[in-house]
Amino acid sequence: MNTNFYIEVACEQRNFGNERICGDVFISRKIREENRTIAVLSDGMGHGVKANVLATLTSTMAVNFTIEHKHPETIADIIMNTLPVCSERRMSYSTFTIVDIEADGHITILEYDNPQTIIIRNLKSYDPGWQHITMHTDKNEGKEIRTCHFKPRKEDRILFFSDGITQSGLGSEKYPLGWGHDNLTEYAGKLVKNGTSISAAKLAEKIVNMAYRNDNYSSKDDTSCASIYFREPRKLLISTGPPYEEENDKKLGQAVKEFKGKKIVCGATTADIVARELGVEIEDSLEFSDPDLPPVSNMPGIDLVTEGILTITKVTRILKDYSPAYELGNGPADRIIKLVRESDEIEIIIGTRINIAHQDPNLPVELEIRRTVVKRMARLLEEKFLKEVAIRYI
């Protein structure tokens, strides 16, 4: 990308009432060959499985047609023509917001029936010059879509959401007509003003939580907020496994010491080497916050010290199952996920010395060779979470 900032993309969701599946669907995709980022939020009519199917169909089509550089009106027309028609209301219905960020930084936003996207620039709401396009094709005659184009600046934020956010609190004493777009814009502005470096994920989470509170802690609709933040990259180092040659222990210690960003060390032997090379002590903890894993340790200068292969295997499993509705605990693997979510560029140093303990045939099958597990984790981080990942072997 020709811009000198990182694009953080996140989404937070809450399901309607006691539904087990969300009727809103969020998809983000990084097109590496074009250095492009696409994010889509769709709200399917109704709730539960039916709404989710509609929204999944809509968001998948939206991503695919956007990748093909189709004209916004063409994209909207094809999606509306493809959606199945509701037998009760005789209408195909799924809203969508598409954000397309191209390699030169140029942004196109296309909306149909979702609340209008909020853009925050210099701590204020920014109007990029929205165009309202009335459609003239047979089936969609008279329907209106909104679109805009602009170039982002560092610290810009884009917020797009389903009407579960703006209509939260509907019928309450405080918000008889719902929370509304203006109140939401004001609240988002305050959050950014009070924490200028608040992450995209945290900003989306706080907005969804406020909507939940407006609904007296029982969501009256599927509630989703997607957030994009243009900023300096946040870096994270994950070191796991001792170096193949013992003479490289010093090299590992130096790499950890000189890294500018947050640091995680996974594995007791690796932690011992890093502590020795940095001249610090490891303080073990006896607080078991996850029954599956040994507790974390503490080391000066390191943000998190955990066990090795079991923890990374669990991290990979959580990453695979993770969705905006996933609730993280405080175990070692959960804490790694939290640090990963807050980071943009992740460097992983893999020590290639074989650990004899992992060759025991009586150990669980999931104790795979460290390299295989870490590669799988890296692939998930790149493809599902749009992180920049670099792997180094030592």
Q: Quote the pLDDT of residue 325.
A: 74
Query: If 0-12 CB within 10 Å is exposed, 13-18 middle and 19+ buried, where does residue 20 land?
Result: exposed
Please give the domain boundaries of the chain with CATH numbers for all domains.
6-231 (3.60.40.10), 235-393 (no CATH)
pLDDT, averaged per 10 consecutive residues of the chain (394 residues), comes to 73 93 94 91 92 94 93 88 68 86 93 96 96 86 92 96 97 96 97 94 96 95 96 92 89 94 94 94 88 93 93 94 85 94 91 65 52 91 89 91
> If we measure between CA atoms, which residue out of 221, 230, 89, 211 comes closest to residue 157?
230
CA dist., res. 87 & res. 43, Å (int) = 18
Q: Quote the pLDDT of residue 136.
A: 83
> If we measure between CA atoms, which residue out of 92, 185, 98 comes closest to residue 145?
98
* Structure letter (DSSP) for residue 271: H
Length of the chain: 394
End-to-end CA distance of the chain: 30
The answer for residues whose C-beta is within 8 angstroms of residue 128's C-beta and 6 or more apart is: 109, 119, 148, 149, 150
Tokens of 90: 């005789």
3-class SS at 231? strand
Residue-wise DSSP of 324-381: TTPPP-SSHHHHHHHHHHT-SEEEEEE-----GGGG-TTS-TT---HHHHHHHHHHHH
Q: Please, what sign has the CA dihedral across residues 40, 43, 44, 47? A: positive
